[in-house]
Amino acid sequence: MTDLSRFSLEGKVAVVTGGSRGIGRAIALGLAEAGADVVVTSRKLPDLEEVAAEIRKLGRKAMPIAAHIGKMDNIKPLVDSVMKEFGRIDILVNNAGCTPAMGTILDNEERLWDTIMNLNLKGLYFMSQAVARIMKVQGGGSIINTASMDGYKPEPYVGIYSISKAAVIMATKSMALELAPFNIRANAIAPGPITTKMLDSHWVHLPEEQAKAEKAEMAKHVPLGRIGEPDEMVGAVIYLASDASSYTTGDTILMDGGCTVASPEFVK
């Protein structure tokens, strides 16, 4: 028989970066519902405090910490604060990321490259390093990175973003390989089009009706026929965070409604 208690996160401490809204918020609340105490971090404390209040209503401990993961001097104080409060970190969800900025390979500037790479890749890598050192001492843990379907199938005019997410997938594999001897697993999820402010940034410059029409057109190109919701990312994260995935590492779960397996004729 399947032991569903293996999905429980009771007694575990999770850190979710980019946890104030969208996918990060949904993940933070989902981990709390599964039994974890949750630290949420992003740049704006008021937004984090709202999420923390929701976590506490679920009966779990919550700690909001304002930090910019793309700035290296923010990482150690963040991790130190978590350890001072909880004494351990069992789960790290690297969800913080930049909104894809529209621009061509011929026109993008170095500043844009640095902004995206510092948060999507460099910050993720060194946040993972800091937490993995703790997990090694305590005997294990789970690192979960948020990649993107764009890491498999580049989207026009968001090349730097796509490159960064492809790198996240490889970073996940490298972490999995090197950290396996310490019982630290590293996996990723790769969302497709999900209803978030990040997705809405594609149309924020358009009149409301035109934006609505273009969003509906995008949904037609998804094999499942719709744009996903943040809550639909949560189940996979709970699986990867829990003992139910104890033999899973180095994997990336595509959660894109079938976009990456659709034929070119379908997505035109």
Q: Are 145 and 171 in contact (CB under 8 A)?
A: yes
**All residues at 6 or more sequence positions from 67 whose CB lies less than 8 Å from its CB, including other chains:** 17, 41, 42, 43, 74, 75, 77, 78
What 3-state class would DSSP assign to 53?
helix
Give the tokens for residue 178: 């090197």
**Which amino acid is it at 199?**
L
Q: Which of 157, 161, 239, 247 is catalytic?
A: 161
Find how far residue 141's CA is from the centre of its chain.
Answer: 17
DSSP per residue over 112-161, as a string? HHHHHHIIIIIIHHHHHHHHHHHHHHHT-EEEEEE--GGGTSPPTTBHHH
239 catalytic? Reply is no
Place of tokens 């026929």: 225
The residues annotated as belonging to the active site are 161
